[in-house]
């Protein structure tokens, strides 16, 4: 160990055993964070070449091994508790040791937030988080989000505290669902559960129908749970027809079961609007297209492509 002149404040800390916060100004406060495997730490407060400024990683066994003092348990301890354990170990070789631990990379509490969220992927809890806070970590839900959230939890954390939660076929996970709207609007606070490490949260995309062409409000209209929508309802939600519309040439572009090109269903919307024909029930992902009245023809492939890639398509909820 190389001897160095210490700053006065640190010298007083070492000599008198008082606690000094040596974290750099602006460093994140992580004292309540529970450490786990793969977390990366930095230890400051001691001018020891073998420790100071060196990144340390919590091993898979939850142990950090340090020069001079050997292995120290970190997994399952908060940062403050780990600091206390370090001080106890260092006291065997240094008089009145004072150390400060900072988590430089949070890696031990991953969760997956998937589906209709703005930033889907793996995120770190960094402490206790509720379901709504986990969704916020993922950038919030997209406008095309459905009405249910599915949560899958490892069995080691116990059964999900949700009505209807059940084990999966393997018995290694529990599975539950909550109503997205109820959780976001705090209608049922009990369902805003605490999220645990390795939870998988999935927000499915909502079923919807699209209205494109000569209507005031083009876009996708989200279907509520167990809801269906007819052509006349869709036209009403879209604000009716523009004067430039050609309702007699309306058509529905319907997905084929084989996933290939859509089928075209031609019909006279003008007859429906005048109650001379039977309303048509739309299916999820149907595109109701109202063309322009005139010689200009819009390719159905262009309309379908615009919907599939979301170019300029507004999502409406009702």
The 10s digit of each residue's pLDDT in 262-291 is 899 999 999 999 989 899 999 999 999 999
Q: Which domains does the chain have, with CATH numbers?
A: 8-105 (3.30.1950.10), 110-203 (3.10.560.10), 208-316 (3.10.560.10)
Cβ-Cβ contacts under 8 Å for 82 (sequence gap 6 or more):
35, 64, 72, 74, 101
38-42, 161-165, 190-194, 202-206: least confident range = 38-42
Q: Identify the pLDDT of residue 10.
A: 32
Q: Above 60 in pLDDT, residue 194?
A: yes
Query: Model confidence over 45-83: pLDDT tens digits?
Result: 766 666 666 788 999 999 998 877 889 999 989 999 999
Q: Identify the pLDDT of residue 100.
A: 87
Distance of alpha carbon 253 from alpha carbon 264, whole angstroms:
5
Q: What length does the chain have?
A: 318
pLDDT band at 295 (very low <50, low <70, confident <90, very high): low
Q: Above 90 in pLDDT, residue 27?
A: no
Q: Identify the pLDDT of residue 261.
A: 80
| Residue 84, H or E segment | helix 79-90
Q: Above 50 in pLDDT, residue 5?
A: no
Q: Above 80 in pLDDT, residue 308?
A: no
Q: Identify the pLDDT of residue 14.
A: 30
Query: Count of CB atoms within 10 A of residue 270's CB?
Result: 16
114: β partners: 202
Supply 308's token pair.
Answer: 């599939």
Q: Identify the pLDDT of residue 93.
A: 83
pLDDT band at 296 (very low <50, low <70, confident <90, very high): low
Cβ atoms of 90 and 178 closer than 8 Å: no
pTM above threshold 0.85: no
Mean pLDDT (the chain) is 83
Query: Model confidence over 215-238: pLDDT tens digits?
Result: 999 999 999 877 889 999 999 999
Q: Above 90 in pLDDT, residue 20?
A: no
Q: Above 90 in pLDDT, residue 204?
A: yes
| Region 306-317 average pLDDT | 69
Query: Model confidence over 140-192: pLDDT tens digits?
Result: 999 999 999 999 999 999 999 999 999 999 999 999 999 998 999 989 899 99
Q: Identify the pLDDT of residue 298.
A: 63
- Residue among 126, 128, 180 at smallest CA distance from 151: 180
Q: Give the whole-number percent of the chain exceeding pLDDT 90.
A: 55
């Amino acid at each position: 160990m190389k001897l160095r002149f210490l700053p006065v404040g640190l010298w007083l800390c070492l000599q008198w055993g008082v606690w000094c916060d040596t974290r750099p100004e602006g460093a994140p406060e992580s004292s309540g964070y529970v450490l786990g495997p793969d977390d990366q730490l930095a230890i400051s407060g001691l001018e020891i070449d073998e420790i100071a400024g060196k990144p340390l990683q919590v091993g898979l066994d939850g142990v950090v091994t340090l020069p001079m003092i050997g292995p120290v348990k970190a997994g399952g301890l908060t940062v403050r508790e780990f600091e206390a354990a370090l001080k106890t170990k260092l006291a065997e070789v240094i008089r009145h040791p004072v150390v400060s631990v900072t988590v430089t990379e949070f890696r031990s509490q991953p969760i997956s937030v998937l589906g209709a969220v703005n930033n889907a992927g793996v995120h770190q809890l960094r402490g206790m988080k509720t379901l709504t806070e986990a969704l916020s970590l993922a950038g919030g839900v997209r406008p095309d989000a459905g009405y249910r959230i599915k949560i899958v939890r490892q069995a080691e954390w116990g059964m999900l505290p949700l009505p209807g939660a059940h084990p999966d076929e393997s018995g290694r996970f529990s599975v539950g669902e909550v109503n997205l709207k109820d959780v976001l609007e705090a209608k049922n606070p009990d369902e805003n559960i605490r999220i645990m490490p390795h939870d998988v949260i999935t927000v499915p995309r909502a079923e919807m129908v699209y209205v494109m062409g000569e209507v005031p409000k083009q876009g996708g209209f989200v279907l509520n749970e167990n809801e269906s929508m007819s052509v006349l309802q869709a036209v009403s939600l879209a604000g009716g027809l523009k004067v430039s519309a050609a309702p007699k040439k309306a058509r529905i572009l319907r997905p084929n079961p084989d996933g290939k090109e859509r089928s075209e269903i031609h019909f006279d919307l003008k007859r429906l609007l005048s109650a001379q024909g039977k309303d048509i029930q739309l299916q999820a992902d149907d595109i109701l297209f109202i063309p322009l009245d005139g010689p200009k023809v819009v390719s159905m492939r262009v309309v379908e492509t615009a919907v599939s890639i979301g170019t300029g398509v507004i999502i409406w909820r009702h």
